[in-house]
A and B are shown apart, each in its own frame.
Chain A
């Protein structure tokens, strides 16, 4: 087996996990944004309790993917940093303020004013970060970034990333986060035994789920019309992922309807996971289509094997720790905040 193939597989898994876990944390903030004027303190408290212990760990997936990218495929990293100069800078601002907004709000704000201030920062930034990360992903997927195989970029630094697919993915990214958060939060509210909140979140999850279904169909149409290569990939290789996503999405809506909230949360995760994996499959072996491919951009093979060895060894520590975290905080609710 070629090491670059294994590494890109690991990275796809990393992106997927980031979307599923980090995305839901962003989504919680998106909801806080949406409900800023109406949400009660109890509703907010649930949001903060749900993501408090886990968001830092979920965030590391992004760093992991980034590091794997520059270690394993250095020219691809250089090209992305040049081509996505603007959206990545904006995403970083979002990431910074999401993190500090959350931390200040949960550990160090007692007064209503401080809470409102940091809560607002958290909410705005939680929306901006997936928006610009989504736009970055869309810009890559569109195949319209004018990159060269050695990591160069000869497009416009300020506007080269803007096209129909990237704009669509920006909104889609925010939507995915909101959908995941609503689906997970319904289950959290149920586990807290709060029937009223459960109903609120259930309704939100249902509505967002249906909207996301429509949006996905529109997305496929946009891809078909403006990213022909990617569309080709979806038709020939990635269609099973699209089918999976559709089935799982429908399942999660039905489960929400019938108040099977764990099933709904899992269904939502599979729906989104299939989208991410489908994107990867559709553009493989291109890393940044059309010029930069997994094979062309890879580091020397012996280096890749070393990285894979380290990743395997690291996983031996990582996996049990992650399981412990999830068991502690996603099994039953902690009383302690």
Chain B
């Protein structure tokens, strides 16, 4: 295997794995706080049982998240030494902040999980707050580093060496706002619908109980609240991408030619050789309107850059379609829940609804992975947009292909073991 390809696959594998656990690290503490808070308010032991059970699953998820994150920190240097050797000083700030968030998170996770019977109930509940705050903060910090790779700014290079940098300005680049917002809501979706899915699947298999219904409703509530916010923040993200990364935007939309009244393509298969996107449902002027707010506006196509500077269009376009499709589906589910709540004062019932909820968790995870594929693959061939090419950053160490294969085996085993461990906890 070619080292560059192996390194990219390795990065995709380990990041794609970590991000799932990260989402639970961000979302689950919020659910824990709500459940335990309801217990404090109502003194209903059922809520406490939910929180206490979840805290053990959280312990497992957190541990896997922590070790997979550690792998990533090393990997940035092991796989992309020139990237970190050149720009470490520019993007180090969010990582430094993140380290403190990790400290806080890890400390209070230890306290929270191990003091259920030692601390007074209210103090125990309060010890969960730093976990939730630090979880959201760590996600926000690290995503600004990624946003910087998309919109690099805040440094001065002379002969390849960074001679001056403003890490704060680098952190607060134009892509940070939408990416951070979009990521945090994504975590809410994945964790909320993920939890709801597990219980919906249980109820579908005949394991119904008020306890399960209650847990389901709690997860569902978080997912349903995040879904509309996620679509709004996605729209914001798309506008910013259109302005700051026109090539990625064109790839997302399968827009090969620069044109006025560009159509919005739904579905379709981009063909990079023929430079056209086939089989798409086209809404005339839709893209121009979405990107610029004017259906007659000119949208830049991929033809603005030489072929060597274009990302793999088909992957980016399809991943984008998958994310948006999933987003719309989750929005519909959220509307169903909200509508029934408002008009009937209860949650929807029936197997069809349970099936939808059971599928919503995996669907949110698919959207999450697809979104990251859009961001990362859409930036190619650049590791730092317009400044450093991925090809020039990759390590020259031998055996990257083998490392990838071993990592694949290890991560598959870890996935299996994590699922077994969680199922075991759920059965208790």
Contacts and interface: CB of A to CB of B under 8 A. Distances in A.
A70 B114 contact: no
Interface string B417-428: 110111011001
B163 A300 contact: yes
A45 interface: no
Interface in B54-95: 56-57, 59-60, 62-64, 66-71, 73-74, 76-78, 81-82, 84-90, 92-93, 95
Given A300-B163, A321-B103, A334-B118, A100 B63 contact: yes
Contacts of A335: 117-118
Q: How large is the interface on A (under 10, 10 to 19, 20 to 34, 35 or more residues)?
A: 35 or more
B405 interface: no
Given A63-B73, A80-B77, A325 B89 contact: no
A89 interface: yes
Interface in B382-428: 395-399, 403, 410, 414, 417-418, 420-422, 424-425, 428
B95 to A, nearest CB: 5
Nearest to B82: A78
B106 A57 contact: yes
B84 A92 contact: no
A254 interface: no
Nearest to B75: A92
Interface in A25-62: 52-54, 56-57, 59-60, 62
Interface in B85-125: 85-90, 92-93, 95-100, 102-104, 106-111, 113-118
Given A56-B109, A324-B107, A108 B421 contact: yes
B67 A302 contact: no
A300 B164 contact: yes
B114 A52 contact: yes
B98 to A, nearest CB: 7
A311 B93 CA distance: 10
Interface string A77-97: 111111001001100110110
A328 B115 contact: yes
The residue in B71, B86, B99 that gathers the most chain A C-beta atoms within 10 A of its C-beta is B99
Given A59-B66, A158-B398, A100 B417 contact: yes
B312 interface: no
Contact of A310 (B59, B93, B395): B93
A110 B109 CA distance: 22
Contacts of B425: 107-108
A77 B84 contact: yes
A98 to B, nearest CB: 8
B165 A96 contact: no
A317 interface: yes
Contact of A60 (B99, B111, B417, B420): B99
B interface majority secondary structure: helix
A257 interface: no
Contact of B70 (A82, A95, A336): A95
B167 interface: yes
Contacts of A310: 93, 96-97, 100
The residue in B56, B81, B95 that gathers the most chain A C-beta atoms within 10 A of its C-beta is B81
Interface string A107-120: 11110001000000
A226 interface: no
B168 interface: yes
Given A96-B410, A325-B107, A151 B81 contact: yes
B85 A151 contact: yes
A72 interface: yes
Contacts of A77: 77, 81, 84-85, 88
B229 interface: no
B410 A74 contact: no
Given A78-B82, A300-B164, A70 B77 contact: yes
A329 B110 contact: yes
Contacts of B70: 59, 62-63, 92, 95-96, 99
A82 B89 contact: no
A60 B103 contact: yes
B169 to A, nearest CB: 10
Given A71-B88, A306-B167, A92 B71 contact: yes
Contact of A334 (B56, B90, B114, B410): B114
Nearest to B423: A108
Contacts of B63: 56, 99-100, 102-103
Contact of A103 (B64, B85, B107, B166): B64
B177 interface: no
Contacts of A314: 96-97, 99-100, 103
Closest 4 CB pairs of A and B: A71-B92, A78-B85, A299-B89, A74-B88
28 contacts: A59-B66, A60-B99, A63-B70, A63-B73, A66-B73, A68-B99, A71-B88, A74-B87, A74-B92, A74-B162, A78-B84, A81-B74, A81-B81, A85-B397, A93-B410, A100-B63, A103-B64, A104-B421, A107-B56, A107-B59, A107-B60, A110-B424, A299-B92, A300-B164, A306-B168, A310-B96, A328-B111, A335-B118
Given A325-B110, A337-B114, 20 more contacts: A52-B110, A70-B76, A75-B85, A79-B81, A85-B395, A89-B403, A96-B414, A99-B63, A100-B67, A100-B418, A108-B424, A108-B425, A110-B428, A299-B89, A300-B165, A311-B96, A314-B99, A324-B111, A328-B111, A336-B114
